[in-house]
Chain A
Amino acid sequence: MTRTLWAFTWIRWRMLINSLRSAQRRDAVERVSRAASLIIPGLFLASACSSVLAALGFGAFAGWYSVVHPMQAVSVLTAIRVFLLLIGIFAVLVPLFVGAHGGAGRVTRFLLLPVSRRTLHAIEVCSSLTDPWMVFVTPGLIAYALGMFAGVLVTPEVWLHRFYFASVVAFAGAVGIAVVFASLSSTIAFLVSWLVRDRRRGEIFVLVFIVMLSGASLAPAFLSRTFDGSAAAASGRAQTSWVMAELPWWTRPLPSELYGAAVGAASSASSPWLPLAGLFAEGAVLYALSSAVHRRVIESVESGRTRRHQTRSTGRAFRIPGMWPGSSAVATAQVRTAMRSVRGRLVVLLPGPVVAMLAMTFSHVHADGTWVSVLGSHGYAAFGAGIVIALYAAQAFTLNQFGSDRSGLTREFIAPIRDVDLVRGKAAGCAAIIGAGAALSLLCALAVAPEGSPLLWIATFLGGAAAFLILTPAAALLSIVLPVASDLSKTGSAGNPHGLAMAAGMFLVGLAVLPAGAIIAMLSPSAALVAMAIWLAIAASIAMPLLSLVSRLLKLRRENLALVAQGR
């Protein structure tokens, strides 16, 4: 078991190191691109290390402080309970997110090795202790126990010697909490992993999960009758006092409460055995449950392609009017592949319902005359918000136009298509995808908030088109310079464009919609329509030559793009 655990730790380390070395045979631009993509993981690693150090420091100080100021020990323990409650919520939600984003597929990778399933499961559970939301819990709690022990050593008062026992209980509780949380998050991760083992089932799960999550995130605002800052602050104070008070009975079996009860009892010379035993029993049950789900996962057949599915498409050639057939074919392929991926469906399906929810929420809130009420009372503003959401959601396509087709890009490169036609075709495909999302937003906005001058609705549409046109050359440029091989069936980092491209994209979308927003906000409806038409014409006259210019760069980067698309 130890040797296997060591081997798995080593292989992860080597994979990390080798990921830094793989670009040595590539050109300078690609090497810079790959180095830049390590910035965000690097920052994440640095913050994780500092979090662990901070947790050790805070934990040790909290333990020591509890002994040196015994009257405050209950407050410290309450803070730890709240913290553990939050971590418990994370232990459930984060594996759901990660799994939905396509990160739960590690389970069967090592099945061919002569490692028993029991050991494989134990290693998977242990590895969840290194998950970001878990990495500082165990060190923090152990430091709390040690701090308490150290506090007793420097305190001369004999009556505080009961904290020796409390520190031992806190240490045991830390181990119990680690087992419970690791088993809990593993169970959820395995469950999601089992769900997404079938490609179609996985895609449905991800779509439902993301759309439900987006809706749920607006629920608190929808339930609220006001949008008053002072009321929110008051409610925050009320929440604090609620946490401090006695919790309802059903919260007692929560791991955080069992831990708190055990350490609290030991600190006040009562028996901690019952809650401590409860904590370990919970850990054992969850571990057994995760083992059962793990077995289910590894015994199920992974099916990227098992359930054959006939599409309704007859494959008829479709030509976009006024476009060269090759560009039209590229655009059609782009739209078809997008509409059959999770990312593409999200671009179309997400903005509409979110806009409808936003409009309903803000029309529900009594805040007339403030900016929040505009979305509820002016449907064209909600429509505009839908376009902006679609522009952001489509970044997986727009900012990585050559990295998401995988070997499909090879097909485009071996076909007799000129660079400029390829770039135009990709742009037209992106326009169609974003247009579909924007169209659904329009319908939703019209259904929920049909008010507002028709001229402003048209101006909003023109503004969205102008924003897209302005973004197009920049998106093509970023796609050519910073490509990454991505999987559009994943909603997480595996389906994302390059980190730098995303950062630039966030900024550029904001910049591109700014003129349209200003025109709508500052001018009368008829003036806004005229101004927007002029802005659209300007945007088109800027975008078209720039797109041709960018396509020249494609010629220089073809080889690199082909290699990246093949995952090399």
Chain B
Amino acid sequence: MSLALETTSLRKAFGELVAVDGIDLAVPRGSFYGFLGPNGAGKSTTIKCLTGLLRPTSGSCRILGLDPQTDPVGVKKRIGVVPEDLALFDRLTGVETLTFVGQVYGLEASSLRNRSAELLEVMDLVEASRELVADYSHGMRKKIALAAALLPAPRLLFLDEPFEGIDAVASRQVKGLLTEFVHNGGTVFLTSHILEIVERICDHIGVIRKGRLIAQGTLADLRANAGAGKSLEELFLTLIGAEYAAPPKLDWLAG
């Protein structure tokens, strides 16, 4: 099986806090990989390590066959990223943001113009394309960040919470776009707390808890190991050990 992303004992520590603790990811090419975990589990830190925003404390990784430590520019040319903070210049317009991305990825002017126009159309941002990103709503910012990630036609997409804060229409559009991207041979690595969406679109799942990868494989593999017939939410709760946690009880809330 050819891997788009592979890590070996990847570790990231901030002083005494170990955010990512020796994880071994294996993301097949052409897969839709959902990277799940509770808040503070280390999902965003992992993405930052993989995309060059953070330097891993130890361990190694290969992205599309390249080592990001030795060839960071080569790796970045082949990937698209929608990070946690969306990576947008507030005082550039939507179209200027795409122009910036196209230029640094070395796109030809005509190609840049055509792709930008198509992406703005698909993302329903044509009218707002000449407004400053600072004036965009949260959903519009998400969409322009995704457009910027798709513009250079990457082979691997890293998406940190792509469905958080966007409406149902935009969510459907984004899902359609990403599914099409995977059908055409691309690989998507995403984090999300919306497990229904992950269950519907992802074919591979990884679960991280307290910085450690506690499960990885196809959804069928996970069901076979952790409980047949379970929904992804039930599976997830089982894997992170929250299945039998009693619902919180605060007597004083009873009034």
Contacts and interface: CB of A to CB of B under 8 A. Distances in A.
The answer to whether A and B belong to the same complex is yes
Interface of A: 24-26, 199, 304-305, 307-311, 313-317, 319, 325-326, 328-330, 332-333, 336-337, 340-341, 405-408, 410-418, 558-559, 562, 566
Interface in B180-209: none
A317 B102 contact: yes
Interface string B93-105: 1011111111111
Nearest to A199: B134
A340 B130 CA distance: 13
Interface of B: 14-15, 17, 48, 51-55, 72-74, 76-77, 81, 83, 85-93, 95-106, 109, 112, 116, 128-132, 134-136, 148
Given A411-B101, A415-B101, A416-B104, 10 more contacts: A310-B131, A315-B93, A316-B99, A406-B90, A408-B89, A414-B83, A415-B76, A416-B73, A558-B53, A562-B53
A313 B91 CA distance: 12
Given A332-B100, A414-B53, A562-B54, A340 B105 contact: no
Contact of A415 (B105, B128, B130): B105
Contacts of B90: 337, 406-408
10 contacts: A313-B95, A316-B99, A326-B103, A326-B104, A333-B96, A406-B85, A407-B86, A410-B53, A411-B89, A413-B53
Contact of A329 (B72, B100, B132): B100
A300 B76 CA distance: 45
Contacts of A304: 134
Given A25-B14, A333-B100, A337-B89, A414 B131 contact: no
B147 to A, nearest CB: 13
A317 B73 contact: no
Contacts of B73: 416-418
7 nearest A-B residue pairs (beta carbon): A315-B95, A408-B89, A329-B103, A410-B87, A416-B76, A411-B87, A340-B91
A103 B132 CA distance: 24
A199 B132 CA distance: 12
Contacts of B76: 414-416
A310 B95 CA distance: 11
Nearest to A304: B134
Nearest to B141: A407
Given A305-B134, A418-B73, A315 B53 contact: no
Nearest to A307: B135
Nearest to A326: B104
A330 B100 CA distance: 8
A337 B136 contact: no
B93 A313 contact: yes
Nearest to B53: A562
Contacts of B17: 25
A309 B95 contact: no
A416 B77 contact: yes
Nearest to B12: A559
Of B52, B54, B116, B128, the most chain A CB neighbours within 10 A belong to B52
Contact of B55 (A326, A337, A558): A558
A336 B91 contact: yes
Contacts of B130: 310-311, 313-315
A436 B161 CA distance: 41
B131 A325 contact: no
Contacts of A319: 103
A329 B104 contact: yes
Contacts of A406: 85, 90
A307 B135 CA distance: 8
Contacts of B88: 407-408, 411
Contact of B132 (A311, A317, A325, A408): A311
Contacts of A415: 76, 101, 104-105
Nearest to A344: B91
B102 A336 contact: no
B148 A411 contact: yes
Of B17, B48, B89, B92, the most chain A CB neighbours within 10 A belong to B89
Of A307, A405, A413, the most chain B CB neighbours within 10 A belong to A413
Contacts of A315: 93, 95-96, 98-99, 116, 129-130
B246 to A, nearest CB: 31
A317 B112 contact: yes
Nearest to A487: B90
A310 B51 CA distance: 33
Contacts of B128: 308
A313 B53 contact: no
A309 to B, nearest CB: 7
A559 B99 contact: no
Contacts of B99: 315-317, 329
Of A304, A325, A407, A558, the most chain B CB neighbours within 10 A belong to A407
B135 A559 contact: no
B134 A410 contact: no
A411 B100 contact: yes
A485 to B, nearest CB: 12
Nearest to B108: A317
Nearest to A421: B104
Contacts of A328: 103
Nearest to A336: B92
A559 to B, nearest CB: 5
B89 A414 contact: no
B93 A311 contact: yes
A337 B135 CA distance: 14
A308 B104 contact: no
Nearest to A556: B55
A460 to B, nearest CB: 32
Nearest to A566: B85
Contacts of A336: 89, 91-92, 96
A530 B76 CA distance: 46
B135 A414 contact: no
B95 A24 contact: no
A25 B104 contact: no
B93 A325 contact: no
A117 to B, nearest CB: 27
Given A305-B134, A309-B131, A414 B54 contact: no
